[in-house]
Structure 1
Amino acid sequence: MAIDRWRLAAFTAPAFPIAAAGLPLTVHLPPYYAGTLGLNLALVGLIFVAVRIIDLPFDLLFGQMLDRARWRWGRFRPWFVIGAVLMTAFTAFVFMARPGISPLGAFGGLLGLYIGMSLFLLTHLAWAATLTDVYHDRSRIFGWIQAATVLGLLVVLALPPLTARLLHTTAPAAGIHAMGVFLILTSALSTILVLATTPERAMPPPPSAPVHSDFARVLVNALMRRLLLADLLAGLATGVLAAMFIFVFEHRLRFDAATASALLLPYFLAGLVAAPLWMKLAYRIGKHRTAGVAGVLFCITATVIAFLPPGNVMVAIPVLALAGMPFTAFPFLMRAMLADVLDVERRDSGRDCTGLFSATLVMTTKIAHALPVGLVYPLLALIGFQAAPGAINSDAAIAGLVALFVALPLLLMAAAVWVVWRWPLDQAAHAAVVAELALSVDPVRS
């Protein structure tokens, strides 16, 4: 089913608030809860880590619900609305919290928000995987979703300084409240857009096999195992780079904190601009080869960043723009490739595992985002690196920082490229799978 650009824009709109919510949950809210709202610093850290850990199994639960539950209103629509309502309600609670909030209240609000976001995100991605069975159209759909994701990051990055300028205040609460209002409005509007413009395809019958056999399919499917490994490795490479980015720019390249943060703008902007270029390349050489090209570019630019001339903004900007180009490629290509894997699974097992397989990929991505700090920070401490702003580090500590910044992401991304480069499910192979499904009774396409 071909999708025109206006309907595609409407369908991809939820990626905007989902991405915009993720950044403040990691960057802005922890110091806000510990500072302005007055909660104990160590307790805040414990709450935010605990919520992220507890949230992980919910992805698998929601994936099972998407595959097994049947509603008269559709397979995805009811869960999509429930996720949107939960996300909107708990966004108001978390972002509009006042001083005096209890630790239990903060924990409950954050857990509710993460659960709502997980259901909203998973339903959106699973629904996207069923919109078409055309190999290249999937690159287009998930490329648009990734572009909306980056745009959401850019807008939410700009909200705190913009709010401070408009309201003539430096109070952190103003920026946090502005982000909350923005998330509530965009979540509600994007949900309405999707419901009004995107019909669902025919629902497959619910699986009759026991639940545990569904989980076994994730492990049995060789393509799925390879996809999850590639996504994990690429996510870890990006996460490790992000975990050390500020350290390298402050202590090795000698930029102040404000300049280092501002230099993320050309990085994200380039990722947004590059998204359609990666889509076009995927049309020419296939999704897996395009992911490999993006991975190689990531390795080259990550290495160049570490050896930029200290304090030179004019050199840093174009290099960071080039480094930001592969930022969007791997995530959307992995999701588009997952949609192809789901066709193979339907052919081989006769099951529709869209929800569970999508949930597993979402969970792998979350793990890749959560691990880098725990992996990198102990290594930095081991080499004697001092992370405090203005700290004096020895030449050996700086050299160790640069070595980790270059070697870890390069090795991880090179491994991801190796995993996807020999991916067997190219356009021709996928066309054969679709043809076989057309000859069988495939309820998803009937």
Structure 2
Amino acid sequence: MTKNISNKKLFFYGLSEMPISIASLPLLTYLPSYYGQDIGISLSAIGTIWLFTRIFDAITDPLIGYWSDKTNTRWGRRRIWMVASVPILVISVYNLFFPNEETVTATDLFIWLALFWLGWTMLLIPYYAWGAELSPDYHERSTITAWRSWLGMFGNVVSKSVPTLALFFFAYGGTREVTQMIGVFMLILIPLTILLTTTNVSEKMDYKPTYIPILKGIKIMWANLPFRRLILAFFLYSTATAISGSTFIFFIRGVLADEKAGIALLLSYYFVNMCAIPVWVWIGKRIEKHTAWIFGMLTYAIVNPFYLLLGPGDLYWMTLGLMITGFGGATSYIFPNSMKADVIDLDKISSGEDRAAIYFAVWSFIIKIAYSFGPWFALMLLAYSSFDPTPGATNSESQLFGLRFIFSLSTTIFMGATILTIYNYPLTKKKHEEIREELEALNN
């Protein structure tokens, strides 16, 4: 039997998710629009920059994961990497979110975005690996990811509420203003939350640093069949969200013909996300994790095609659709990461080592490939359809249909493929209990 983790420990551990969650939206949704529509860098250049910086980012993932697993200091092997990420993230966030619009170039965007992704990897991989090591229990792992996700979502909602209130009460807000307000939140929260997490939560110190060479370790990993199913599902799901995220503001501006409603619409989505997380934790304790995730993804597959029918002024229907998918989307913050931890237990039997970071690194690598491919694919299609992103530009119906198709149906197709991939997932609660019994026998 394992002792349950205290709520205090869960709270402080989850705090570092706040800057991660807050950053995810503007990097995918607002920065491409800001640099394209407000600064004037071409869509094809932005798409190419996102592709190559994400490829660079993906290459660093297994390296950081491998080095984190090998790290052995008096402070542990996870927190030290998180602290080291702070100055890199602060410098790159400042230059990305507050550029000199008169002199900034595509090269500047490339440099600061690549540096940001390096700091992001140094924070994310050890942080998520640490979470997988906090408890061996099947359901408590979902509780850990739920606390982390809820706190991240809370920070996300607060950071989106301020621009929304500024727009509502003071008519202050556009893509530039929202981007910079979110940037302020990130500059404050990155050092603050990481400090609170690393000083209030202790690491497991009885780990076994990895000695398996990286290529041999990846070969052992590839023999893990549930792992292969899960990374394919992650790739497809991440591609779907990357396509919709990178075209969201274009859709609001171009199809709904509203220059400033984007942040309020996103707030409705993330607010429902936040409220739904405890509901899905309750549901997840009664059904298999992969089944709960499938139910969540079905909301996207069903709702997104209806976005094809929207036009200027249809904010009510857009809000309703986002709230429905926001409820289902909460599953992606809880169950996939909890399923990762279960797969890592299976690896412990095969490798005899604690290799959580390299697993999270490979998953992150796959997701980042999807996050580079998705925006590149979407922005290239937009450029091919001759869609004009310039504020106030008049686009033909065929150009707008291309935008509608990319935003709605592309997402639906990839989401449906994810559901088919994860259906009948083999690592169930019963199977995981057998794995834990085997691990306990080996440890004894």
TM above 0.5, one fold? yes
Q: How many Å apart are 1:287 and its aligned residue? A: 0.7
Q: 8 Å contact 1:239–1:369 — kept in the other structure?
A: yes
Q: How many Å apart are 1:112 and its aligned residue? A: 2.9
Change (3 A) 1:248 1:112: closer
Letter in 1 for 2:21: A
CA distance in 1 between counterparts of 2:111 and 2:351 reads 40
CA distance in 2 between counterparts of 1:57 and 1:145 reads 26
1:344 corresponds to 2:343: no
Match of 2:18 in 1: 16
Q: CA deviation digits over 1:71-127, x for unaligned, max 9?
A: 121121211211234323443455555567776766544433321121111111110
Q: 8 Å contact 1:386–1:393 — kept in the other structure?
A: no
Q: How many Å apart are 1:211 and its aligned residue? A: 2.2
Q: CA deviation digits over 1:341-383, x for unaligned, max 9?
A: 0001111231322111101111222222222232234445656
Q: Which has the higher contact order (CA 8 A, sep 6+)?
A: 2
Q: How many Å apart are 1:61 and its aligned residue? A: 0.8
Q: 8 Å contact 1:87–1:120 — kept in the other structure?
A: no
Letter in 1 for 2:305: T
Q: 8 Å contact 2:178–2:263 — kept in the other structure?
A: no
1:201 corresponds to 2:225: no
Q: CA deviation digits over 1:298-330, x for unaligned, max 9?
A: 211212333357634444433321122122312
Match of 2:235 in 1: 232
CA distance in 1 between counterparts of 2:216 and 2:438 reads 24
Match of 2:303 in 1: 301
Match of 1:7 in 2: 9
Q: How many Å apart are 1:178 and its aligned residue? A: 4.8
Change (3 A) 1:68 1:406: same
Q: How many Å apart are 1:12 and its aligned residue? A: 0.7
Q: How many Å apart are 1:192 and its aligned residue? A: 2.3
Q: CA deviation digits over 1:180-205, x for unaligned, max 9?
A: 44323212221222123211113433
Change (3 A) 1:266 1:75: same
Match of 2:68 in 1: 66
Larger mean Cα displacement after TM superposition, 136-145 or 385-394 = 385-394
Letter in 1 for 2:294: G
Letter in 2 for 1:68: K
CA distance in 2 between counterparts of 1:176 and 1:112 reads 18
CA distance in 1 between counterparts of 2:181 and 2:409 reads 39
What is the CA RMSD across the aligned residues, in angstroms? 3.4
Change (3 A) 1:336 1:215: same
Q: CA deviation digits over 1:193-222, x for unaligned, max 9?
A: 212321111343333332211122332211
CA distance in 2 between counterparts of 1:335 and 1:153 reads 19
Report matched runs for 1:426-445 at 5 Å. 426-441=428-443
Q: How many Å apart are 1:9 and its aligned residue? A: 1.6
Q: 8 Å contact 1:15–1:146 — kept in the other structure?
A: yes
Match of 2:327 among 322, 325, 328: 325
Q: How many Å apart are 1:436 and its aligned residue? A: 0.7
Q: How many Å apart are 1:59 and its aligned residue? A: 1.1
Report matched runs for 1:18-417 at 5 Å. 18-29=20-31, 45=46, 49-92=51-94, 94-95=96-97, 98=100, 107-160=110-163, 178-249=181-252, 252=255, 254-308=256-310, 311-380=313-382, 389-394=392-397, 401-417=403-419
CA distance in 2 between counterparts of 1:267 and 1:304 reads 17
Letter in 2 for 1:424: P
Q: 8 Å contact 1:18–1:149 — kept in the other structure?
A: yes
Q: 8 Å contact 1:147–1:328 — kept in the other structure?
A: no
Q: How many Å apart are 1:134 and its aligned residue? A: 0.6
Letter in 1 for 2:434: A
Letter in 1 for 2:298: V
Q: CA deviation digits over 1:134-168, x for unaligned, max 9?
A: 10111111122222333333333345566789999
CA distance in 1 between counterparts of 2:82 and 2:248 reads 35
Gaps of 5+ in 2: none
Q: 8 Å contact 1:267–1:321 — kept in the other structure?
A: yes
Gaps of 5+ in 1: none
Change (3 A) 1:261 1:288: same
CA distance in 2 between counterparts of 1:312 and 1:326 reads 22
Q: How many Å apart are 1:283 and its aligned residue? A: 0.8
Letter in 2 for 1:232: F
How many positions carry a matched residue from both structures?
439
Q: CA deviation digits over 1:6-50, x for unaligned, max 9?
A: 3212111111112223334445556767899x8966897365554
TM-score of the pair, normalised by structure 1:
0.85
Larger mean Cα displacement after TM superposition, 106-115 or 142-151 = 106-115
Letter in 2 for 1:8: L
Q: CA deviation digits over 1:223-274, x for unaligned, max 9?
A: 111100011111122222334444555555x442323553222122111111
Q: How many Å apart are 1:275 and its aligned residue? A: 1.4
CA distance in 2 between counterparts of 1:401 and 1:35 reads 16
CA distance in 2 between counterparts of 1:437 and 1:133 reads 10
- The secondary structure found in structure 1 opposite 2:261 is helix
Q: 8 Å contact 1:234–1:330 — kept in the other structure?
A: no
TM-score of the pair, normalised by structure 2:
0.86
CA distance in 1 between counterparts of 2:91 and 2:414 reads 38
CA distance in 1 between counterparts of 2:218 and 2:113 reads 28
Larger mean Cα displacement after TM superposition, 347-356 or 378-387 = 378-387
